[in-house]
Amino acid sequence: MKGGLAMLEVKDLHIHFHDADAAHDAVKGISFTVPDGEIVGLVGESGSGKSITAMAVCGLLPRHRASLSGEVMLNGKNLLTIPRSELRAMQGSDITVVFQEPMVSLDPCMKIGPQVEEALLLHTDLGDEERKARALKAMADADLPDPERLYNKYPHELSGGMLQRCMIAAAIISDPQLLLCDEPTTALDVTIQAEILKLLQRINKEKGTSILFISHNLNVVKKLCTSILVMHKGLLVERGTPEEIFNHPREEYTKRLIAAIPSRTRKIRDMVDAERAAADKTAPDGNALVGNAPDGNAPGGNAQGISAETGNLQG
């Protein structure tokens, strides 16, 4: 496996939003790398800053709404400071994106084919025939059945899973160095999800494309990624391989996150019974708030913390 050489290097990234009544630091100084040929997962809940980071990495954060500092190095260039024209040249060829909602990522008035080859239209000077050939190949690589026929169809004629594959085809057609996926499977059915993940793995293996995979779903990330970064409230709280993160989480937040993943090992009723039994043993503190987080921990400690959480605005 290729390794060592970093494809993407993010150093001390700070992102601050100027919204008059909600100015805040979305990202508070994070650093990480995506090594060449690897799949890195960036996980976090809403408000963690993972999507903002993703947008910053592909240069899609409007510069007048946010101020960014730090470095985002791709191919030796700092994407945050290079001139717009250079950035535009890289977007769609060196770095491509697959978004969450395939239904709205594609133009409903254009056929599929031209949209898949659009990147080639913008970044190369290939002729029509060549572009179409490349598009068909990309669509085949993305596991789309009968690309010739799909080429001339409109987005509304395809299912969510097929559309997402078209997006992936459009993203890999220019053989990017970095493929950024922002929750690409969240809007899809569970069986389709599994197929898309396999597809991404194959692309990574066959073409050596590095992938930065953003998700809130730890299970998905566990299956796909070679290393995982956990974000919480704008900070990178933990990083490691899936094995390390799942079996030996170090940080409190990571542990909570993992404990909260629905799994087939614990039933809610058992957890509630356990909580009740434990609460009965300790002195009741009169705090009757329901819905405490399940982690089977010793009583007392967490009850206070969680109930404070449900009470205030971050609940």
Q: Which of 291, 296, 300, 305 binds another protein (CB under 8 A)?
A: 291
Q: Where are the alpha helices (DSSP H) in the chain?
A: 50-57, 84-90, 102-105, 112-116, 118-123, 128-141, 147-151, 160-172, 190-207, 218-224, 242-247, 252-260, 268-281, 301-311
Nearer to another protein, 26 or 95 (CB): 26
**Interstrand relation of 24-35 and 6-17 (parallel, antiparallel or unpaired):** antiparallel
Q: Which of 103, 140, 235, 293 binds another protein (CB under 8 A)?
A: 293
Nearer to another protein, 132 or 222 (CB): 222
Cα separation, 129 vs 262, in Å, equals 49
User: First CA to last CA across the chain, in angstroms?
Assistant: 43
Helix axis angle, 128-141 to 160-172, nearest 10°: 120
**CB-facing half-sphere around the CA of 208: CA atoms within 13 A:** 9
Q: Quick check: 281 binds another protein (CB under 8 A)?
A: no
Residues 112-151 that bind another protein (CB under 8 A): none
Structure tokens that stand for 269 in this block = 């009723």
Kindly write out the interface string for residues 219-258 of this chain, putting x where it contacts another protein by CB under 8 A and - elsewhere: -------------------------------------xx-
In single-letter form, the type of residue at position 230 comes to V
Q: Which of 22, 109, 283, 298 binds another protein (CB under 8 A)?
A: 22
Q: Which of 5, 109, 268, 298 binds another protein (CB under 8 A)?
A: 268
Q: Which of 193, 204, 210, 227 binds another protein (CB under 8 A)?
A: 193
Q: Which of 264, 281, 286, 298 binds another protein (CB under 8 A)?
A: 264
- The residue count for binding another protein (CB under 8 A) is 46
- β partners of residue 78: 73
- Least separation, in Å, of the C-beta of 123 and another protein? 30
Name the DSSP letter for residue 75: T
Cα separation, 153 vs 135, in Å, equals 14
Kindly write out the interface string for residues 171-190 of this chain, putting x where it contacts another protein by CB under 8 A and - elsewhere: ------------------xx
Task: Specify the residue for token string 């980071």.
Answer: 53
Nearer to another protein, 56 or 119 (CB): 56
Residues near another protein (CB under 8 A) are 18-20, 22, 45-46, 64, 67, 160, 189-191, 193-194, 216-218, 256-257, 259-264, 266-269, 271-272, 288-294, 306-307, 310-315
